[in-house]
């Protein structure tokens, strides 16, 4: 008998593709995607623990699931991902209605764990291991999907002072290039024309295993028929090498956008964070990228209120933002994570002060984002159609090569196709335009 699973994903793109793999694995057990929570027999929360706020959101969601589980006999609650990896069996002690807890290295065990829960048992699996058998499973892909994420590595060896990722994702492991290329070819056969390569630090791909380096992988993917756009996330500024930078001028399908987290503009704070680069080294790589691909778009990450951050340090961050003028960024108030070096550092910045700094930083970013978007008005841009606009279903939505969201009309274009769009106006975070016809 067909059953239904409802998956809620928290956190990063890595979690999103992990959720798609979980859905594919459960599909082999005759579980189908549920349209709503009320339709589900199994609810799976794929969790994040990068910040305290993420923890709070997940436990709040678990609280709401108590009533859902009581609503019908046999319902199952599962928690996977980084918070599950971090908390383990303690998560069930706090939320006894949870049936399954499985960590980031236990995805391939999900069918086995569900069978245990269906037999009214509880299952916990959070051992870190070198098991990568879940990579053998092609992630679930919705009909007509134009873009797909492809995991090329997992884990991280950097151990930045504030980051819990190495503790919940494990040490760095690169996926064999043959597997990556086979998955990209399969996606191309299914009509996908854009792939997003995922890793905590894609620039170190293959180094530990002695395989092909990241630039070589990019070149091979660019030669696969049908793949018209390539993106990658995330680049560590320290490891972004000149060969990769030069590829932006050599590979037409490599999108002119890069996510390059700086975290702080202060050399002192960057040193305390153990990021392994200076402000000037970061800015030099930005300059080299702009020389390789004029018009390239930049996004970044910022942490404000890191231990020891002074007003002068914070002004250094604002100065870097003014110099680079990022197209977008993700910014957060420092959140100490248990077990990380920063959690025990002196020089705590008052929460209220960190909050004020975050407001100032985000206001500056909003101004720069609007500036970048307004520069697009009047231009005709290539847009990959992703589906209907979230706010107006009579219009379509897609993304430019620079990763800008465009809502446009009329709606003769089809999902998964490339279309030219004349940009008519800019909003705070997206563009609006009119369809100009298909791209060749």
The arrangement of strands across the sheet holding 123-125 comes to: 31-33, 3-9, 42-47, 76-81, 100-102, 123-125
Instruction: Read off the CATH number of the domain in which 401 is found.
Output: 2.40.50.140
Instruction: Assess whether 93 and 15 both reside in one domain.
Output: yes
Task: Give the confidence band of 401 by pLDDT, cuts at 50, 70, 90.
Answer: very high
Query: Which of 98, 125, 152 is the last residue before a domain boundary?
Result: 125
**For range 90-106, the mean pLDDT:** 94
pTM above 0.85, yes or no: yes
Query: Which of 58, 92, 125 is the last residue before a domain boundary?
Result: 125
Phi, psi of 370 (to 5 degrees): -65, -40
Integer Cα distance of 230 and 293 in angstroms: 15
Mean pLDDT, rounded, of the chain: 94
Contact in structure between 383 and 418 (CB atoms under 8 Å): yes
Task: Give the confidence band of 437 by pLDDT, cuts at 50, 70, 90.
Answer: low
Integer Cα distance of 238 and 219 in angstroms: 22
Integer Cα distance of 99 and 84 in angstroms: 12
Instruction: Read off the CATH number of the domain in which 244 is found.
Output: 3.80.30.20
pLDDT (tens digit, 9 = 90+) per residue, 242-260?
A: 999 999 999 999 999 999 9
Instruction: Assess whether 282 and 240 both reside in one domain.
Output: yes
Instruction: Assess whether 368 and 393 both reside in one domain.
Output: no
Q: How many domains does the chain have?
A: 3
- In this prediction, residue 131 carries a pLDDT of 76
Integer Cα distance of 75 and 40 in angstroms: 8
Task: Give the confidence band of 384 by pLDDT, cuts at 50, 70, 90.
Answer: very high
pLDDT (tens digit, 9 = 90+) per residue, 122-137?
A: 999 999 887 788 888 8
Instruction: Assess whether 254 and 151 both reside in one domain.
Output: yes
| Residue 73 burial by Cβ neighbours in a 10 Å radius (0-12, 13-18, 19+) | exposed
**For range 424-440, the mean pLDDT:** 87
Contact in structure between 104 and 85 (CB atoms under 8 Å): yes
Task: Give the confidence band of 440 by pLDDT, cuts at 50, 70, 90.
Answer: low
CA gyration radius for the chain?
A: 22
Residue 392: which domain range? Answer: 380-438
Integer Cα distance of 271 and 158 in angstroms: 13
Instruction: Assess whether 306 and 164 both reside in one domain.
Output: yes
> What are the DSSP calls for 178-242, one per residue?
HHHHHHHHHHHHTT--EEEEE-TTGGGTTTTTT---HHHHHHHHHTSTT--EEEEE---TTT--H
């Amino acid at each position: 008998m067909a059953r239904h699973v409802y998956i809620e994903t928290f956190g990063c793109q890595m979690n999103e593709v992990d959720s798609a793999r979980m859905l594919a694995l459960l599909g082999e057990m005759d579980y189908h995607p549920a349209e709503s929570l009320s339709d589900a027999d199994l609810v799976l929360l794929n969790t994040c623990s990068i910040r305290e706020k993420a923890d709070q959101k997940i436990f709040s969601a678990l609280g709401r699931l108590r009533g859902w589980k009581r609503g019908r006999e046999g319902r199952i609650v599962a928690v996977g991902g980084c918070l599950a990896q971090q908390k383990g069996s303690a998560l069930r002690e706090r939320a006894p209605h949870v049936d399954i807890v499985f960590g980031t290295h236990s995805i391939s065990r999900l069918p086995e764990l569900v069978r245990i829960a269906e037999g009214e048992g509880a299952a916990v699996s959070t051992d870190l291991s070198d098991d990568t058998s879940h990579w053998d499973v092609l992630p679930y892909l919705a009909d007509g999907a134009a873009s797909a994420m492809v995991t090329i590595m997992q884990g991280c060896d950097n151990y930045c002072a504030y980051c819990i990722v190495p503790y919940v994702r494990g040490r760095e492991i690169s996926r064999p290039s043959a597997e990556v290329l086979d998955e990209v070819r399969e996606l191309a056969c299914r009509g996908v024309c854009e792939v997003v390569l995922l890793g905590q630090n894609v620039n170190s791909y293959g180094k530990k295993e002695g395989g092909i380096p990241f630039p070589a992988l990019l070149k091979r993917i660019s030669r696969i028929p049908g793949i018209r756009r390539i993106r990658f996330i995330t680049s560590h500024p320290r490891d972004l090498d000149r060969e990769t930078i030069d590829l932006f001028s050599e590979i037409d399908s490599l999108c002119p956008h890069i996510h390059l987290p700086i975290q702080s503009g202060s050399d002192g704070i960057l040193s305390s964070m153990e990021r392994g680069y200076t402000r000037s080294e970061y800015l030099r790589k930005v300059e080299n990228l702009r020389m390789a691909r004029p018009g390239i778009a930049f996004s970044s990450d910022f942490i404000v209120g890191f231990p020891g951050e002074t007003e002068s340090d914070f002004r250094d961050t604002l100065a870097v933002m003014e110099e680079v003028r990022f197209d977008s960024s993700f910014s957060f108030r420092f959140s100490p994570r248990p077990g990380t070096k920063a959690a025990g550092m002196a020089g705590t910045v008052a929460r209220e002060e960190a909050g004020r700094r975050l407001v100032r930083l985000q206001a500056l970013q909003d101004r720069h984002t609007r500036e970048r978007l307004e520069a697009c008005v009047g231009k005709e841009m290539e847009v990959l159609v992703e589906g209907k606009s979230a706010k107006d279903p009579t219009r379509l939505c897609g993304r430019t090569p620079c990763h800008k969201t465009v809502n446009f009309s009329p709606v003769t274009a089809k999902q998964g196709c490339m279309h030219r769009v004349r940009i008519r106006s800019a909003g705070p975070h997206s563009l609006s335009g009119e369809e100009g016809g298909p791209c060749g």
